Structure 1
Amino acid sequence: MKIDNSRRHMLMGAAAFVAAGSVPAMGQGYPSRVIKLVCPFPAGSATDTQARFLAEQIGKVLPQKIIVENRAGASGNLAASSVARSDPDGYTLLLATNSSHAANQHLFKSLPFDPVKDFAPIARLTRNPLVLVVSEASPAKTVEDLLALAKAQPEKLSYGTGNTGSLAAAQLLMTLGQVKMTRVPYQGTPQAITDVLGGRIDVIITDVAVVREFVQAGKLRALGVTTAEPLATMPGVPTIAEAGIAGYDFAAWSGLYGPAGLDASTVQTLNRVFLDAMKGPEADRFFGLVGLERNPGSPAELAAYQAQQSELWGRIIAQTGIEKV
């Protein structure tokens, strides 16, 4: 049987992955059936894109596939709740974000889960810079232009939020920029992007992955990135701090969790295969394209990071005056 070069390279890579000890001995035959990776946001979102890439890469080396299940709603609460209630057998996992595991406890009066007690941390994965965009038709060419428009007509400009990252980033912009805009909430980011493109809302601060192609095509205008340093994936776009709001620095993040009670050997297996899937040429291309920063870590490092981020999000939300719902 003839094997083409791409197939040969994939097989060689998978063989090297296993030979290097990347997949520890599978206790009691784990995994013996398909693993479900629950994504808390809809298809087309940055989290969904990341979930599908990781599932594809890991499916090449594990004896069972990983399938992605999108369970969008309530800023990640629906997905997190479903995983928290699942059996701790390693077959239902959550690609969590700052929404469910740092921000929501400060945004909701009550949650259907405990973000610490109901989950087993598995792997810290990424740090996700955001970008402020407007329609190509917008009169705002810079962050300073946008602030001037917002100050001239308080609350007339509208901003979309498809997750808590978008919400907190916009609130921080308004607080530091001393302006007011009107929030338009969405179940996920893709519809919000559609409405910015269509001129139905004015602004969104969101993941680079979901707007980069529109920026490159000239349909959206990127005014600034949320991190303290410029992004290689958004060349020529200043930071929001450089563009007029001193001290602005913000990023979302992701991590892998299972339900509480997951045994240590399964956690170790999953940590190693997920972190190894974030290495190598294919991963370099993927993360470079979508604009996510790899931030790998152990279960203990994820737990510590979550605690630190929860405190940070609590402070940001308190400063911006967002009321619990």
Structure 2
Amino acid sequence: MNLIRLGLLCSTWLVCALAAPAQAQQPYPAKPIKVIVPFSAGSATDVVARMVGNKLAEAWGQQVVIDNKPGASGIIAATAAAKSPADGYTLFFTSNTTQAANPSLFPNLPYDPVTDFVPVAPMATAANLLVVSTSLGVSSVKELIQLAKAQPGKLSFASGSSLSRVNGEMFKSMTGIDIVHIAYKSNPQGVTDLLAGHVQLMFTDTVTALPHVKAGKLKALGIGSGKRSAVLADVPTVAEAGVPGYDLTGWLAVFAPAGTPQAVVNKLNEEINRILVLPEVRERLLQTGLDPLAGSPAELGALVRNEIPKWARIIKEAGIKPD
């Protein structure tokens, strides 16, 4: 009887031993992928994450679940992403807010944008629009500056990301106006209060602003980048509109927790780059005011390392005090 039992145990062990390598070698992805997004639904990062996520799901036959974690300028989401298992099944679709600007805005970050993440793929560049409520009664950047100077400390600007905030602080610093900063969890919440008249102006992503601009509820006075947007060609840059030298552009990209296997990173990068050049994806990005930005993990890593000191300089010149 003992010999029979021993034989059964050996057989069971042999089956498990043979099955384990087969399971370990399952091609990636073998289960659903979670995508952490640091901003709320409807924001530019969220829209692009869902667009790319849907295409990944179609290509690989695995569900891609979007997990929005807005608040604290992306710190909540970035911390959660950094602490996630480094197996390729948790990705971080984010922006320059968490990976470039936050180190200079929050000196005690609970994550490191370089050492806690591995770069996967850049996705797009994104400029913010300067928008005001139509009820404010201004139709140009110069008129807004005049109104703010006539009412020091009376106007307030919303921000729902570090790009949004730094755009506003730069505008304040470069024009010499006194306007009050009001922070929100994400840009869509700031736009809601702008529409309600609780704040008077805001720099926000084109994805969030465009529907309200087209509906006539918000007035776009300028765009923060050095060039005009193809979807709003009649809207001048802020520099053209009266603030010479004004130029600030953000970007969106994909990261994974540090330690994620390079083979997984490479597969993700290849597929995301393929998705970004699909005509329907490229066209949708352009229609929302975003410019597709394909590239390698190494190129994204270099971008982050170059952008951190750049944002530190911009934040210092704008006179923003770390929180």
TM-score over 0.5 for the pair? yes
In the alignment, which residue of structure 2 is the partner of 1:14? none
The separation in 2 between residues aligned to 1:262 and 1:194, in whole angstroms, is 38
In the alignment, which residue of structure 2 is the partner of 1:29? 27
SS in 1 for 2:294: strand
Q: Counterparts of 1:133-172 in structure 2 under 5 Å?
A: 133-172=131-170
1:100 to 98, 101, 104: 98
The separation in 2 between residues aligned to 1:213 and 1:314, in whole angstroms, is 32
Q: Which amino acid is the alignment partner of residue 136 of structure 2?
A: S
Structure 1 runs, 4 residues or longer, greater than 6 Å off: none
The separation in 2 between residues aligned to 1:81 and 1:158, in whole angstroms, is 30
Is 1:235 matched with 2:233?
yes
SS in 2 for 1:128: strand
The separation in 2 between residues aligned to 1:27 and 1:124, in whole angstroms, is 28
Q: Counterparts of 1:17-96 in structure 2 under 5 Å?
A: 28-96=26-94
Q: Counterparts of 1:101-116 in structure 2 under 5 Å?
A: 101-116=99-114
Whether contact under 8 Å (1:226, 1:249) holds in the other structure is yes
1:249 to 236, 247, 250: 247
Give the drift of 1:27: 6.1
1:25-66 deviation line (CA, Å, top 9, x unaligned) = x96321100001110001111111111111111111113121
Q: Which amino acid is the alignment partner of residue 282 of structure 1?
A: E
Corresponding residue pairs, total: 300
Work out which of the two has the higher radius of gyration on C-alpha atoms and give 1 or 2.
Answer: 2
Runs of 5+ in structure 2 lacking a partner?
1-23
The separation in 2 between residues aligned to 1:115 and 1:229, in whole angstroms, is 28
1:181-232 deviation line (CA, Å, top 9, x unaligned) = 0011101111111111111110000101111111111110000011111111
In the alignment, which residue of structure 1 is the partner of 2:176? 178
The separation in 1 between residues aligned to 2:122 and 2:25, in whole angstroms, is 23
The separation in 1 between residues aligned to 2:125 and 2:177, in whole angstroms, is 27
Runs of 5+ in structure 1 lacking a partner?
1-25
Is 1:322 matched with 2:320?
yes
1:121 to 106, 110, 119: 119
Whether contact under 8 Å (2:286, 2:292) holds in the other structure is no
Question: TM-score with structure 2 length normalisation?
Answer: 0.91
Whether contact under 8 Å (2:71, 2:184) holds in the other structure is no
The separation in 2 between residues aligned to 1:78 and 1:276, in whole angstroms, is 30
In the alignment, which residue of structure 2 is the partner of 1:6? none
1:72-94 deviation line (CA, Å, top 9, x unaligned) = 11111111111111111000000
Question: TM-score with structure 1 length normalisation?
Answer: 0.90
Whether contact under 8 Å (1:159, 1:204) holds in the other structure is yes
In the alignment, which residue of structure 2 is the partner of 1:216? 214
The separation in 2 between residues aligned to 1:113 and 1:281, in whole angstroms, is 36
